[in-house]
Structure 1
Amino acid sequence: MTAARRPLVVVGDVLLDRDVEGDATRLAPDAPVPVVEVAAERCRPGGAGLAAALAARGGREVVLVAALGHDEASAAVRAMLPPGVRLAELPLNGSLPVKSRVLAGGRPLVRCDSGGGTPGAPGPEVRAVLRNAGTVLVADYGQGAAAAVRDLLAEAAARVPVVWDPHPRGLPPVPGVRLVTPNEREARLFCGAARGDRAADAGEDDDSPHAHSRRGALLAERWRAASVAVTLGGRGAVLARANCDDPLYVPAAAGHDGDPCGAGDCFAATAAGVLADGGLPSDAVARATEAATRFVGAGGLAALALWGDRSPAAARTPAPPGDAWSLIASVRSRGGTVVAAGGCFDLLHAGHVQFLENARRTGDCLIVCVNSDASVRRLKGRGRPFNTAADRIRVLAGLGCVDAVVEFDEDTPEALLRRLRPDVWVKGGDYSVRDLPEAAALREWGGQTLVLPYLDGRSTTELARRAAYVTS
């Protein structure tokens, strides 16, 4: 079994996040504090629970290793984890931490923390999960879950990609981690803890990208990590390696003034997914920066349809762009029509664009199912694809008519369609509906299959033939 086929394992501290939301238009008569008129109360798994749910949004197999007890908060987290996340529990001596925020107009006013316990030793299930992991994401919030399995994490780092999202109250990453993702405040604190070595050379008060890269390089050396990405909020991220003066700065595509809570989990989960698919740390940081920026711009935690929230407020909130499962939940909560289309899209041409634009017009959102590199190679032969799946997905996602892109590895998208369950499946070319194996799958839930023609005279094969002729 290859690493890409094995599950992505998220290890860390789970919290129960509780948000009390409302409006504050007056002060209390007995104290100069705002009075919040409560409109809604929402609970969701936080910490490693949020990271696991975000990692599973694209249909990826995810196992969450976390400490849960017998208290009400632990029971709530178990009930709210999305179907794509399997739980492997550590024992918890105590109660699960609860983080309560009061928000007015979408802005936090106060936070109250309660609960807490000590994780116990891992049992056979947890040990088997970590030894079978294809990629590991450690969401360390300093509550002890990562410490309880530290020996297993050290073994995993020697075999598979490990992403470590650190916390000042947690332990340092184990040696050999592929990518560590502190934010700029955490990086400063970690470098301060290293003072007496070469921490002063990192420029404690310097806020430039180059200074952040020096801090990242110092931390990579001290932690014996392959790379460190220092996240800079709305400014993007800096990727650094030990003893390397060639950092990579990835700016954010756009600045957003939204609630950043959860953006770090989105960054780490996205980066882990890219590494799980065989990407390099530079690819992981670029994709993670883009995903975290979209996450904040789309409304952050309030916009996520991960926990089955069907309240009127949730129905009005748009799903984050590019997330097929959240998008489907959002569109269906409004009574809309979900459309899916598929293909290799190896060399995107005008025929593809017209086809996708027409497909989008048949419903309220368009999800493109794209063949993986291995799938294209089996279907088209040696030398294909011309563009990797990551590049094809990026180009497709940039089209205004495409709302989300999902990759599949089989020869046909039947298995993926059974998870997406679109209302309409659209295929381009000269097929007939009865010849499409996907049509039978659509009938299982009452979906409809349509065939739309490509623009005449345009084809990937012809483009490749002409390019080969010109260069020969």
Structure 2
Amino acid sequence: MTVPAPLLVVGDALLDRDVCGRVERLAPDAPVPVVSGPRRATRPGGAALAACLAAADGRPVTLVTALGDDPDSATLRELLADRLELVELPLTGALSSKTRVLADGRPLLRLDDGEGRAREGTREAARAIAEAGAVLVADYGRGTADVLREALAGAAARVPVVWDPHPRGRPPVPGVRLATPCAAEAHAFAGPADDTEEAGHGSELHTAAQDAGRLVRAWRAASVAVTLGGRGALLSHGATPLLVPSPVTADGDACGAGDRFAATAAGLLADGELVETAVRGAVHAATRYVAEGGVRTLATDPAPTEPAGPPSEGEPTDDALRTAARVRAAGGTVVAAGGCFDLLHAGHVALLQAARRTGDCLVVCVNSDASVRRRKGDGRPLVPEADRIRVLRALECVDAVAVFDEDTPERLLAELRPHIWAKGGDYAMASLPEAPLVESWGGQVVLFPYLDGRSTTGIAERAALAPRTRTPGTRPAAGSGRRSR
């Protein structure tokens, strides 16, 4: 198994706190909500969050950041101790911290404390940058990137540098491989359109495309990816942009999604991937991050042994197991569905879409080529395993794909342990051998309506007929067709 490449993260660490509770009434002395039963959590924030997310991918991570002698700096050191290597810069003032108050998972307000800034660079930090094979700059406008700017400019000239900018920070150094502003940041950085560009009220995509192209030129960056929240990201090298859409619509706490995007993109570039591949992996990782609970999963997720980039074409089952584990750890519902999915048709898609709506992720269990041949005969599958996996992964409703070699998927289900096992309504009168297994851990087999008249066999038989003559709108007479050459 390939070991992920090391990553150096340079930026401003924060300390984040959440106070989570429920709201059932307003206060009697003012029209403000009363948050009852508050639960408090403390976690790394800012560049420290980005570094921890990269480390959670199984990647060796070094964080260069400014810390001081204040209590919040001491708390953050403890939180980072077992996750990564720390290179400290001196901090002037107290470490910045953010406290969010949430009701039923939705933020009500945020309190910001501490205005500490990095005082100066150090030889140790400059040496870490000079020796790095890839760098992520997580700029939160508190001076770390500023005091190390010369060293970062040197790094951008020789290794992949991803720069996640901040409105209060300076622009990226020239030559970065990828800059990752959100749409609002990109528009603020780009400034008003000049006379040669359309300055009307264009769509969000049109505006993002213009902003990204202008920032590529202004920043002298190789590429800019403007993140668009739930819509994905728009990647520009300065000309026609590439839209990388989110695989699914994820509802959840988006706090830290930008850090997840930047950390994944930087990690994949460190591994030698192309920018386009890195952005695609980053969009998928950020979508999963939000869907699976966002920052709540940071302390509870098992650390995967591979980066959280695009699923490996050779090892889809490993990705499926990690996806199921993350969703389960975050308290979500894991849904699984299975089949050959040979010649994917409308009936398959309807089943998978319905199954995905019942939970927080959908894992599709696919018969291997050998399994399909045993079940369907030597002429099957019509579509090989690798292509069937790729087509299924392209569906918006599918989060991961797993492959099994047996005739039925009991062994794979025992590893996935889904809460729901989805089957088509055509199984309503059949005995499902996997049903007792799913029920043994409290899971539930659920049948979904079946679209009548759709089947791979029927499609294959119709495709095999090549009628000599046929009037549009008529059906060929029995026996009038012949096998196509």
Report the TM-score, using the length of structure 1 for normalisation: 0.65
Q: Which residue of 2 aligns with 1:226?
A: 222
2:257 pairs, out of 224, 240, 263, with 263
Matching residue of 2:119 = 120
Equivalent runs, 1:298-317 vs 2, <5 Å: 298-305=292-299
- Counterpart residue type for residue 233 of structure 2: A
Give the match for residue 70 of structure 1: 69
1:56 deviation in Å? 1.1
Preserved CA contact (<8 Å) 1:82 1:307: no
Shift of 1:133: 0.6
Matched letter for residue 54 of structure 2: A
| 1:150 aligned partner | 149
Matches of 2:160 and 2:46 in 1, distance apart?
20
- Which of 207, 226, 239 is 1:211 aligned to? 207
CA-to-aligned-CA distance 1:368-426 (integer Å, 9 cap, x gap): xxxxxxxxxxxxxxxxxxx9xxx9xx899831479xxxxxxxxxxxxxxxxxxxxx9xx
User: How many residues end up aligned between the 2 structures?
Assistant: 338
Q: Residues 99-178 of structure 1 correspond to what in structure 2 (within 5 A)?
A: 99-178=98-177
Aligned to 1:398: 400
**1:63-462 equivalence runs, <5 A:** 63-81=62-80, 83-192=82-191, 195=192, 198=194, 201=197, 203=199, 205-242=201-238, 244=239, 246-305=240-299, 351=368, 398-400=400-402
Which whole-Å deviations, capped at 9, do the CAs of 1:260-288 have from their partners, x for residues lacking one?
A: 11100000001011111111111111111
Shift of 1:324: 8.0
Query: Is the CA contact (8 Å cut-off) linking 2:129 and 2:155 kept in structure 1?
Result: yes
Indicate conservation of the 8 Å contact 2:224/2:237, yes or no: yes
Q: Is the 8 A contact 1:165 1:182 kept in 2?
A: yes
The change in CA–CA distance for 1:255 and 1:202 in structure 2 (over 3 A counts) is farther
Inter-partner Cα distance in structure 1 for 2:244 and 2:330: 35
Report the counterpart of residue 412 of structure 1 in structure 2. Answer: none
The separation in 2 between residues aligned to 1:30 and 1:98, in whole angstroms, is 29
Residue identity in the other structure for 2:281: R
CA RMSD of aligned residues (A): 3.4
User: Does the CA contact (< 8 Å) of 1:12 and 1:146 recur in 2?
Assistant: yes
Change (3 A) 1:84 1:304: closer
Amino acid at match of 1:234: G
Q: Distance in 2 between matches of 1:200 and 1:71?
A: 51
TM-score if structure 2 supplies the norm length? 0.63
- 2: CA distance, partners of 1:75 / 1:48: 16
Distance 2:103 2:214 in 1: 40
Q: 1:306–1:326: 8 Å Cα contact kept in structure 2?
A: no
Letter of the structure 1 residue corresponding to residue 205 of structure 2:
P
Distance 2:325 2:81 in 1: 14
Q: What SS does structure 2 have at the residue aligned with 1:96?
A: coil
Measure, in 2, the Cα distance between the counterparts of 1:323 and 1:50.
25
Following the alignment from structure 1 to structure 2, what is the Cα–Cα distance between the partners of residues 169 and 223? 16
Q: Percent identity?
A: 50
Alpha-carbon distance in 2 for matches of 1:16, 1:323: 32
The residue number in structure 1 matching 2:443 is none
CA distance in 2, matches of 1:326, 1:231: 23
Deviates further, 255-264 or 198-207: 198-207
Question: Secondary structure at the residue paired with 2:172?
Answer: coil
CA shift at 1:201, angstroms? 2.4
Q: Which runs of 5+ in 2 are unaligned?
A: 303-317, 332-364, 372-385, 405-414, 416-485
* Deviation at residue 204 of structure 1 after TM alignment: 6.7
Q: CA deviation at 1:118?
A: 2.2
Distance 2:153 2:110 in 1: 34
Whole-Å Cα distance in 2 between the matches of residues 288 and 331 of structure 1?
Answer: 22
Q: 2-side partners of 1:352 and 1:304: how far apart?
A: 38
Q: Which moved more, 1:325-334 or 1:218-227?
A: 325-334
Report the CA distance between 1:325 and its aligned residue: 8.1
Give the 3-state SS of the residue equivalent to 1:116 in structure 2.
coil
Structure 1 unaligned runs (5+)?
309-320, 335-347, 355-386, 403-423, 425-472
CA distance in structure 1 between the aligned counterparts of 2:20 and 2:188, rounded to whole angstroms = 32
Give the SS at the match of 1:22: strand
Q: Quick one: structure 1 residues 258 and 205, their matched pair in 2 at CA, closer, same or farther if it must change by over 3 Å?
A: farther
Deviation at 1:241, TM superposition (A): 1.6
Instruction: Go from structure 1 to structure 2 and tell me whether the alpha carbon gap of 1:26 and 1:152 turns closer, same or farther (over 3 Å shift).
Output: same
Kindly state the Cα deviation for residue 305 of structure 1 after the two structures are TM-superposed. Answer: 2.6
**Aligned-partner Cα distance in 1 for 2:268–2:141:** 25
Partner of 1:405: none
Q: SS at 1:18's partner residue?
A: strand
The offset of 1:207, in angstroms, is 2.7
* 3-state SS of paired residue (2:107): strand
* CA-to-aligned-CA distance 1:61-110 (integer Å, 9 cap, x gap): 11000000011111111111263411001110111001001000000001
Write the distance in 1 (CA, Å) between the matches of 2:257 and 2:199: 26
Deviation at 1:202, TM superposition (A): 6.0
Judge conservation of contact 2:320–2:400 (CA < 8 Å) in 1: no
Partner SS, residue 201 of structure 1: coil
* Contact 1:8 1:276 survives alignment (8 Å): yes
In structure 2, do the counterparts of structure 1 residues 324 and 172 end up closer, same or farther at CA, with 3 Å as the change threshold? farther
Indicate if the aligned counterparts of 2:17 and 2:42 stay in contact, CA closer than 8 A: yes
Task: Give the 3 Å change call, closer, same or farther, for CA 187–201 of structure 1 in structure 2.
Answer: same
* Preserved contact between residue 58 and residue 324 of structure 1 (Cα < 8 Å): no
